[in-house]
Amino acid sequence: MKSFSPTSPSRRSFTAVEYRKLLTGDKPYKKLMQKLHDSAGRNSAGRITQRHQGGGNKKMYRVWDNKQNKLNSSVTVETIEYDPYRTAFISLIKYEDGTKSYILTPHGVQKGAVLLIAEAAPLKPGNRMQLKNIPVGYQVHNIELQPGQGGKIIRSAGSYAEVLANADGYTDLKMPSGEVRRVLWTCLATLGQVSNIEHNLVVGGKAGRSRWLGVRPTVRGSAMNPVDHPYGGGEGSQPRGTRKPKDIWGNVTGGRKTRKKRNPTSRLIVKRRNKK
């Protein structure tokens, strides 16, 4: 992490990841970049459906390969780059046939490293293989939920799942939340932890940095008037005034289960996530 001299109140608590030591400094690969439409949290009718979004610095989306399903092929890591659309770093890789694509950078993988994609591969961070060939205790990320679907889970900075067991066509994985989930063992996963493990230590230091990231201000319900929020009103600081926590529209939000009772994937959950 990089800290700064307290030349101002915002600098005093500001911390950031030291990118110079982690990234290669190469320019993005233009053929894999595209401009995404920024909806600012609005739907097709122009109504806000996701609050507190909008603004922010201009950015280009990096088209990345979450499948990496070209089996029995080796790739070379050409660059390690910053991605404005995700918390993890991304790497530009080059296949043996000359094609290039972006992937999530595994922690510890450096520029020039050679990675292997196969059903069974050496147990080295960055290699991608089927779950049934990964021993118990190893860390994996970018995991498929259906064979050939592409990685769907464990893709944020510093995250990983731990292999607990391989039996009867399924692999038991321990998620970062503590949940234990079964996945078909023919699904592909990448060995190791996702890069940028210090991301959770970043402190913005000022409201402006959130605005640069496209995050608009959030107003506390207790600071509003009674007409605007169930928590609003009162002289000075007042308690909530309602038995159950509610959102701005009066819907109960605390202690209510949101998972569908007949979700077909519930049978694959061996252990629920840890309660706070």
Of the given ranges (1-5, 111-115, 206-210), which has the lowest mean pLDDT? 1-5
pLDDT for 107: 95
Instruction: Give the chain's radius of gyration (CA, Å).
Output: 22
What confidence score (pLDDT) does residue 148 get?
A: 92
The model's confidence at residue 255, banded by pLDDT at 50, 70 and 90, is confident
What pLDDT is recorded for position 26? 84
pLDDT at 161 over 80: yes
| 113-119: average pLDDT | 94
- The answer to whether residue 185 scores a pLDDT higher than 80 is yes
- Distance, in Å, from the CA atom of 130 to the CA atom of 145, rounded to the nearest integer, reads 12
Domains in the chain, start-ordered, CATH in brackets?
2-38+52-200+265-271 (2.30.30.30)
* Cα 64 to Cα 8, 10, 111, 261, distances in angstroms: 39, 35, 17, 34
State mean pLDDT over 91-108. 94
| pLDDT reported for residue 69 | 87
pLDDT-derived band at 103 (thresholds 50, 70, 90) equals very high
Query: Looking at residue 166, what is its pLDDT?
Result: 95
Burial 94-129 (b: 16+ CB within 10 A, else e): eeeeeebbbbbbbbebeeebebbbbeebeeebbbbb
pLDDT for res 60: 95
Q: Is 139 exposed, middle or buried (0-12, 13-18, 19+ CB in 10 A)?
A: buried
Residue 182 CA to residue 174 CA, distance in Å, equals 9
pLDDT of residue 25: 82
pLDDT for the residue numbered 275: 79
The answer to whether residue 276 scores a pLDDT higher than 90 is no
Provide the mean pLDDT of the chain.
93
